[in-house]
Structure 1
Amino acid sequence: MNIPLAEFMRPRTLDEVVGQKHLLQEGKLIDRISKSKYIPNMIFYGPPGVGKTTVANIIAKISDKKLYKLNATTDSLKDIKDIIGDLDTFLGYKGVVLYIDEIHHFPKRTQQILLEFMENGKITLIGSTTENPYFHIFKAILSRSMVVEFKPLTDEDIEDGLKSTIRRIKEEKSIDLNIDCKVIREIPKLSDGDFRRALNVLEILINSSNNGDINESDLKDIITEKTLNFDSSGDVHYDVLSAFQKSIRGSDPNAAVFYLSMLIKGGDLTSICRRLLVITTEDIGLAHPQAITIVKSCVDAARELGFPEARIPLAQATLFLATCPKSNSAYMAINKAMEDLNTLNIGEVPSHLKDSHYDGGKLMGRGEGYKYPHNYKNNYIEQQYLPNKIKNRVYYNYGNNKLEKICESYWESIKNEN
């Protein structure tokens, strides 16, 4: 094949686009935009290989606007200025659609240049990004644009797309292909929702095939391991970390170890270890106070071992935490205390609690009236500890778990004796 298969199969109409039915079906957003021929400023957000560039090309042609394409990873402010400088020369066009791929790579200053021309209508911006635009795109651009989310393609979407590709190759290129149906079912599983990746695999199989015959062993020869759309500094990474913690918090060991495997695949050992330690204190806490010691040991072992062996102590820590009793009482207590510290005038530390171990301390009344608990029954005596202005504040509430309930019962009985 003379041109790349992904380019050969690039859709010419919205009906040919694979997947994205939530945007392209009749009555949905992109369908309505294409029929109206009015294109608003838009930010296309989604993983690679799901049709963002293709859809931008198609709707730009429908609108009778001249399409310019830039890539923020390779182009610069000068390229934008060159397009702006030529705006008045585009006779016969109803304006310009400027498509900027990976727009999040442009610095704020470069994005700002576009604002004036977006507002006067000379430029319609379509930016695409694989990163969450609400974190990575200049807010003034977002306020003038519609965010359109593209979803990862399903295995069924990709399988349908591959079948259409094979039919078209046979018809338009007169290439005789005999591809085992199991191969067509297996390629989507290896593509992680990316149709471009699936087409690349198919292209390699076709170009390396023997007279167009392709079977499972041919696929295994070129693919040894599934590749994930996973960037250790990208949004997917943080989404998986979030799902990892929420699965442990929700006491689902199966989901927890699954998301751990995704994080291990991404290779970011530091983030996994940090998150396990946070989970131990935020979500298990006083329900199992020794958990921090156990998890710290597992984390230390993982760091000492490195991958691939690190997966074993990490799995031990993950499953241990997922099956532990849960309590967020320590997490909630410190949050409440910090909130008061930031919002209230708390006043002074009570005088009887102040340090008196220096010359003149006692003369200033420091420590006067302090009752040493160990001098009293059960090592407890009631006295005020919080500052006067917040003396009745409650920060810690016993968690609903066996250990904290035992502690609560113990202290109720001790305090009732006084």
Structure 2
Amino acid sequence: MSDDAGLFAAGDAGPGPEEGAAPPPVDPSAPLAVRMRPRTLDEVVGQQHLLRANSPLRRLVEGRGGSSVILYGPPGTGKTTLANLVATSSGRHFVALSALSAGVKDVRAVIEDARTRQIHGRRTVLFIDEVHRFSKSQQDALLAAVENGIVLLVAATTENPHFSVIAPLLSRSLIAELQGLDQAGVATVIRRAVADERGYAGALEVTDAAVEDIVRLSGGDARRSLTILEAAAGAAEDDVVTPETVELSLDAAPVRYDRDGDQ
């Protein structure tokens, strides 16, 4: 789903599928959270306050909008998922940079490639994970490209962008605040992974009590819930996950801390 800190480096995820085309095959060796990443808006759990009919973010994902967007919210709420959906909605070219490793040179190289691609009628979606880690000079390097539509910027951050993103970039972007999933939403994510062919295809049984434990431990983080489920499945006897299995698979319940104390 930072939303997927370290998962993306500078590179090209390639064009999205054409409308109506079959989804790309899923690598069975990939982590469960990667295999279960939503492929369409209909598969997204939560964030309905942002994805209601004709909302700016829904129009953007559906390829009917052109504004850059900053996705702000806690881990595991779907920031990377929405970035991927924006890219694949109309076959846009998708490039992802991680602010942990990319510099001004990388940003300028992406922009030059995007400028060339625009001449041939194809727009580029630039996804920047952990955008709050970009320096002012790195953010400044984006301004003209965002202003002129050379790139459609989709940036993700776990920190309030009003304090971590420069004002000129904020003024050129929509800001969408994602919320942690409620208990029902996390339970839906878990049960879908148990039933879906990308997950366990019904071959794994998870008791209601175990689902409740995973929901409690995940703290509204969908990716965390799937990580716990995958660990528990590996420890399960006779393909049945119980609360005891969940407990055995974890050293301690995950607790999120940050230096500012607001999580």
TM over 0.5: yes
| TM-score of the superposed pair, with normalisation by structure 1 | 0.53
Secondary structure of the corresponding residue to residue 26 of structure 1: coil
* Equivalent in 26, 48, 73 of residue 46 of structure 1: 73
For 1:207 and 1:224, the matched residues in 2 are separated by 15
**Post-superposition offset of 1:92:** 5.5
User: Partner of 2:181 in structure 1?
Assistant: 153
For 2:78 and 2:52, the matched residues in 1 are separated by 14
The answer (yes or no) to whether the contact 2:63–2:86 under 8 Å persists in 1 is: no
Higher relative contact order (CA 8 A, sep 6+): 2
1:188 maps onto 2:215 in alignment = yes
User: Partner of 1:218 in structure 2?
Assistant: 245
For 1:75 and 1:100, the matched residues in 2 are separated by 9
* Equivalent in 225, 230, 233 of residue 206 of structure 1: 233
Q: How many residues align?
A: 235
Root-mean-square deviation (CA), in Å? 2.0
The one-letter code matched in structure 2 to 1:52 is K
Q: Deviations over 1:336-365 (max 9, x none)?
A: xxxxxxxxxxxxxxxxxxxxxxxxxxxxxx
Q: Classify 1:147/1:70 alpha carbon distance in 2 versus 1 (closer, same or farther; 3 Å).
A: same
| TM-score of the superposed pair, with normalisation by structure 2 | 0.83
Identify unmatched segments of 5+ residues in structure 2: 1-27
Q: Classify 1:172/1:128 alpha carbon distance in 2 versus 1 (closer, same or farther; 3 Å).
A: closer
* Equivalent in 245, 255, 258 of residue 228 of structure 1: 255
* Equivalent in 73, 77, 81 of residue 108 of structure 2: 81
User: Partner of 2:143 in structure 1?
Assistant: 115
**Post-superposition offset of 1:208:** 2.3
For 2:199 and 2:216, the matched residues in 1 are separated by 27
**Post-superposition offset of 1:136:** 0.5
Q: Deviations over 1:367-401 (max 9, x none)?
A: xxxxxxxxxxxxxxxxxxxxxxxxxxxxxxxxxxx
* Equivalent in 4, 8, 20 of residue 47 of structure 2: 20
Q: Deviations over 1:307-364 (max 9, x none)?
A: xxxxxxxxxxxxxxxxxxxxxxxxxxxxxxxxxxxxxxxxxxxxxxxxxxxxxxxxxx
Q: Deviations over 1:264-292 (max 9, x none)?
A: xxxxxxxxxxxxxxxxxxxxxxxxxxxxx
The answer (yes or no) to whether the contact 2:73–2:177 under 8 Å persists in 1 is: yes
**Post-superposition offset of 1:174:** 4.9
For 1:119 and 1:73, the matched residues in 2 are separated by 24
The one-letter code matched in structure 1 to 2:135 is P
Secondary structure of the corresponding residue to residue 114 of structure 1: helix
Q: Deviations over 1:70-100 (max 9, x none)?
A: 1101222221122122224427553111110
**Post-superposition offset of 1:60:** 1.8
The one-letter code matched in structure 1 to 2:213 is E
* Alignment map for 1:19-418 (pairs within 5 Å): 19-35=46-62, 37-90=64-117, 93-169=121-197, 174=201, 176-233=203-260, 237=261, 239=262
For 2:50 and 2:248, the matched residues in 1 are separated by 37
**Post-superposition offset of 1:48:** 0.7
For 2:209 and 2:102, the matched residues in 1 are separated by 42
The answer (yes or no) to whether the contact 2:59–2:65 under 8 Å persists in 1 is: no
**Post-superposition offset of 1:36:** 5.4
The answer (yes or no) to whether the contact 1:66–1:93 under 8 Å persists in 2 is: no
For 1:154 and 1:133, the matched residues in 2 are separated by 23
For 2:203 and 2:149, the matched residues in 1 are separated by 50
**Post-superposition offset of 1:199:** 0.4
Identify unmatched segments of 5+ residues in structure 1: 241-418
Q: Classify 1:161/1:173 alpha carbon distance in 2 versus 1 (closer, same or farther; 3 Å).
A: closer
For 2:120 and 2:85, the matched residues in 1 are separated by 18
Q: Deviations over 1:183-225 (max 9, x none)?
A: 1111111111111110000011112222312111111112343
The answer (yes or no) to whether the contact 1:47–1:229 under 8 Å persists in 2 is: no
The answer (yes or no) to whether the contact 2:36–2:199 under 8 Å persists in 1 is: no
The one-letter code matched in structure 2 to 1:141 is L
Runs of at least 4 residues of structure 1 off by over 4 A?
171-175
For 1:12 and 1:123, the matched residues in 2 are separated by 22
Q: Classify 1:187/1:173 alpha carbon distance in 2 versus 1 (closer, same or farther; 3 Å).
A: closer
For 2:138 and 2:63, the matched residues in 1 are separated by 30
